[in-house]
Homo-oligomer: A and B are copies of this chain.
Amino acid sequence: MIIMKTDATPEQIDQVVKEVKKYGLRVDISRGQYKTIIGLIGDERKIPFAHLAALPGVQEAFGIEIRYKLISREYSKYYEEVIGRKIIKVGNVEIGGDEPVIIAGPCAVESKEQLFRIAEEVKKAGAHILRGGIFKPRSSVYSFQGLGGEGWEEAVGASRWLQKAGEMFEMPVVTEIRGEAQIDLVAEYADILQIGARNMYNQDLLTKVAQKKKPILFKRHFGASVEEFLSFAEYIAAEGNKDIILCERGIIPIGKGKDYTRYTLDLAAVPAIQKETYLPVIVDPSHATGRRDLIFSMSCAAIAAGANGLMVEAHYNPSEALIDGQQMITPDELKDVIYTCRRINKLVGERKAEATSDEKS
């Protein structure tokens, strides 16, 4: 980290940046009114800090041993203004603000009719953002892989429907990018780019998706610790993209015998992560539990734990869905969830109010 002097000139800043790049590292610049901070991205062991400290305009230069510095509260304390929480604005929706944001929609886009009908109904129920999978990650090559698995034309078609449905019902849309070849297509049509749990460790995908400069919904892998989750989120931030929505969606259950829930929803991770980073954290109770009859309870619990929002699978007729029917709720049930969650959020909200300085993007 390099802290520039208050009177450092733009030229001096440029010189430092150039010097850093010589060693193969990149920079993350935080410019305040008075104070500019240059963060180093890459292997800091290569940097001769004493040399950098001696450059004109530099006040201090030192290494920082932290695996996720760009997204951490700790690191932001060096900034001119500490970041209390980061509010990500997408269209008219604020993620990370006072109200919990509700992302809802079908597991997979199956047809235009299905998508538009669900979009209309979840909008009425109170959802803010529309979800719908086009490229579905599946554990078996013999399962339905989303319309994206049927062919490129189908993928493009489904992407257009999603965009249209978002426009018609005034909701930003989010869908998953499962592989590098899908980045351009999805980034063209979607407002928020999702990286699924199975790809959390996929640093090449993270890096390339981050470069699209659109907000990213980033899911925790089911075998990952919080430390790993944040360390990989840092790959996104390292590309200069800090519009990251972290999503807890359940970890591998332990214990012998049958699983009563598909995954173990790690709700304590929500406040634990929020104490580490200023990024918003949402919860996906649908994939975590795999049980429609637990969605209400776990949605309420997530908001009570301080989550900034929910991602819920919804369908007018869950039993006819091609994937995940057993975990989707109806729009009517969604309405219930939203109503109660908003009231719970208000009750626990005073605590969140402690966070002071916001950063909108």
User: Do B268 and A225 have beta carbons less than 8 Å apart?
Assistant: no
In the complex, per-residue mask of A106-147: 1 if CB is within 8 Å of any chain B CB, else 0: 000000000000000000000000000000011111111000
CB neighbours of A275 from chain B (8 A): 293
In the complex, per-residue mask of A162-194: 1 if CB is within 8 Å of any chain B CB, else 0: 000000000000000011111000000000000
Say yes or no for A53: interface residue by CB 8 A criterion.
Answer: no
CB neighbours of A228 from chain B (8 A): 139, 255-257
In the complex, per-residue mask of A193-210: 1 if CB is within 8 Å of any chain B CB, else 0: 000001101111100100
Q: How long is the Cα–Cα vector from A179 to B267 in the complex, in angstroms?
A: 32
User: Do B260 and A272 have beta carbons less than 8 Å apart?
Assistant: yes
- Residue of B251, B254, B296, B347 near A340 (CB, 8 A) is B347
- Residue of B143, B198, B260, B268 near A269 (CB, 8 A) is B260
Say yes or no for A265: interface residue by CB 8 A criterion.
Answer: yes
Tell me the residues in window 212-242 of chain A with beta carbons closer than 8 Å to chain B beta carbons: 221-228, 231-232, 234-235, 238
CB neighbours of A199 from chain B (8 A): 201-202
User: Do A301 and B343 have beta carbons less than 8 Å apart?
Assistant: no
Say yes or no for A32: interface residue by CB 8 A criterion.
Answer: no
Say yes or no for A150: interface residue by CB 8 A criterion.
Answer: yes
Tell me the residues in window 293-325 of chain A with beta carbons closer than 8 Å to chain B beta carbons: 293-294, 296-298, 300-306
User: Do B234 and A141 have beta carbons less than 8 Å apart?
Assistant: yes
CB neighbours of A252 from chain B (8 A): 223, 254-256
A62 to chain B, nearest CB (A): 14
The contact size tier of chain A is 35 or more
Task: Name the residue in A203, A253, A257 with the highest tally of chain B Cβ atoms < 10 Å from its Cβ.
Answer: A203
Question: Residue of B at shortest CB range from A294?
Answer: B271
User: Do A297 and B301 have beta carbons less than 8 Å apart?
Assistant: no
User: Do B256 and A225 have beta carbons less than 8 Å apart?
Assistant: yes
CB neighbours of A234 from chain B (8 A): 140-141
Q: How long is the Cα–Cα vector from A41 to B140 in the complex, in angstroms?
A: 10
A residues lining the B interface (CB < 8 Å)? 24, 41-44, 67, 137-144, 150, 178-182, 198-199, 201-205, 208, 221-228, 231-232, 234-235, 238, 251-261, 264-273, 275-276, 288-289, 291, 293-294, 296-298, 300-306, 340, 343-344, 347-348, 351
| Additional A-B contact list (9), CB under 8 Å, known A42-B141, A303-B304 | A67-B139, A139-B232, A140-B231, A227-B255, A251-B255, A251-B264, A261-B268, A268-B297, A271-B297
Listed from nearest, the 9 A-B pairs whose CB atoms lie closest are A223-B223, A179-B204, A225-B255, A227-B257, A304-B304, A198-B201, A301-B305, A300-B304, A180-B180
